[in-house]
Amino acid sequence: MKILMLGWELPPHNSGGLGVACLSLSKALAKLGADIDFVVPYESDHHFDFMKVLSATHVAPLHQYGGSAYDSDNIDEKRFASDRDDGVFSIRDVQRDYCRFIEQYLMSHRPDVIHAHDWLTYEAGILAKKNFGIPFVAHVHATEFDRGGASGGNPLIRQIEYEGLVWADKIVAVSQATKDIIVEKYGIPADKIDVAYNGFALPKDDDYRYDGSSYQYLEGLKKQGYTIVSTVGRFTLQKGLMHMMRAAARALSVHPKMVFLFAGDGEERDELMRASAELGISRNVVFTGFIRGKQLRDIYSISDIFVMSSVSEPFGLTALEAAHHGNALIITKQSGVGEVLHSIVRYDFWDEDKLADALVNIAESPALTNILRDGIKHEYTRISWDDVAEKCIQVYDEVSKHKRNRF
């Protein structure tokens, strides 16, 4: 089966989980016999033996989001109008070229299915569907409502996302939570959407080893009996971190030997810092700034409890990474990853008391800590990309049969 996969990033040129998900899924699909051409929007230097990677433009890697890190707030009308000749280009320019490339490609190729990942490539998917009659599968890793929080995000992106979802023959959502948003906010019929939870591939036996060197101050506190609680991500409204900060203060009022690590950066950082001071807990709160690589994995390693406090989180791969490094997980009911796990504590993102209660109970009970920590290890290893790939093959069969009937 010939699949034309439309993506926006692949590791190492990824800004987040989308690239990891696309690569892992493609690899698992190839194992099942799928013949994949994967299109990226930048000058590719990828070499994989299980699929062909095609470059839609000559843009340098990591400029595919318009010359800066991806942030939907930066995509406004002004940027849409930008012209390549003056040296500035926007994500819209890249998308336009991406579509042209797909059009050219389809003049000489006939894939069985087009599989497009997130709004970034939906226009190309629509084009293939409209002009070439190729079955179109839209994969939703996040909706604009997830990215934009309460504001609903960028209306133009919502428009593109909506059209993509309407034109798609079938939609794959990464969680029930995401499917619910697609049904409620976009009015797409539920039976057109399949849920395929993201898989989790154990990090390859790399040379990572926790040596305790990155955060010696925290190691000292641990020896004094402190529990280390961490959260990792972009500091935006969507992550629900203000709720977490207030819950931290509640928990510390009962159990003072806790330290909260806020790892990441973002627009809410100053507000969070101010809040920690106003709540009188700044001595127990550590901001690491933006970190990655070993420093990030050291955060997971040193921490006892990982909190995913998101108001809306399509999946939430970081939770599984934290679990892999031995954390007990507390996850909001609004995070997709929680749907497939048992050995976690779940709470509503606004329920600060419940979060505080869970923090204290885990901190004070070795039995609860161990059962969460050990239980989760049995669970996330069972979440496999092979299952996601099999689901996608089913979807491909369905949409291509659909097509045969129609034409």
Partner 1 sequence: MKSLVLYLHMHQPYRVKHYSIFAVGHDHDYWTDKDWYSGTNNERIFKKVADKSYRPMLELLGKCLEANPGFKFSLSLTGVFLEQAAEWAPDIIKSIRNLVQTGRVEIVAETYHHSLAFFYNRAEFEDEVAQHQAKLRELFGYESRVFRNTEFAYNDDLAHWADDYGFHGILAEGWDKILGDRKTNHVYRPDGCHDLRLLLKNYQLSDDIAFRFADKRWHEWPLTVEKYQTWLDDACADGPLVNLFMDFETFGENIWADTGIFKFFESLVTQWGRSEEHNFLTVSEACDSEAPQGEISMPWTVTWADEERDLSAWLGNAMQHEAMAAVYELREDVLASQDADLIADWRRLLTSDHVYYMCTKYFQDGDVHAYFSPYDSPFDAFSCFMNCIRDIRTRIDALKTKE
CA distance linking residue 197 with residue 24, whole number of Å = 13
**Alpha-carbon dihedral 40, 46, 48, 54, rounded to 10 degrees:** 40
Decide if residue 400 touches partner 1 (CB under 8 A).
Answer: no
Nearer to partner 1, 87 or 366 (CB): 366
395, two tokens: 């979807």
When the beta carbons of 162 and 380 are compared against partner 1, the nearer one is: 380
Half-sphere exposure for 69 (CA within 13 Å, toward CB): 5
Instruction: Give the separation between CA 12 and CA 201, rounded to whole angstroms.
Output: 16
SS3 of residue 258 by DSSP: strand
Using CB under 8 A as the binding rule, the residues of this chain from 336 to 375 that contact partner 1 are 342-346, 353-354, 356-358, 360-361, 364-368, 370-372, 375
CA distances from 98 to 39, 59, 67, 226 (A): 9, 11, 16, 51
Nearer to partner 1, 145 or 260 (CB): 260
| Residue 243 binds partner 1, judged by CB under 8 A | no
Is 74 a residue that touches partner 1 (CB under 8 A)? no
Q: Under the criterion CB under 8 A, does residue 246 sit at the interface with partner 1?
A: no
Binding of partner 1 by 279 (CB under 8 A):
no
The closest of 378, 304, 392 to 341, measured between CA atoms, is 378
Q: Does 40 bind partner 1 (CB under 8 A)?
A: no
Site size toward partner 1 (CB under 8 A) is: 25
Which residues lie below 8 Å from residue 406, measured CB to CB, with a gap of 6+? none
358 alpha carbon, distance to own chain's centre: 25
Among 379, 386, 387, 390, binds partner 1 (CB under 8 A): 379
| Site membership for partner 1, residue 4 (CB under 8 A) | no
Beta carbon of residue 362, minimum distance to partner 1 (angstroms, whole number): 8
CB of 176 to partner 1, least distance (A): 15
Least distance from partner 1 to the Cβ atom of residue 218, Å: 24
Contact set with partner 1 (CB under 8 A): 250, 254, 342-346, 353-354, 356-358, 360-361, 364-368, 370-372, 375, 378-379
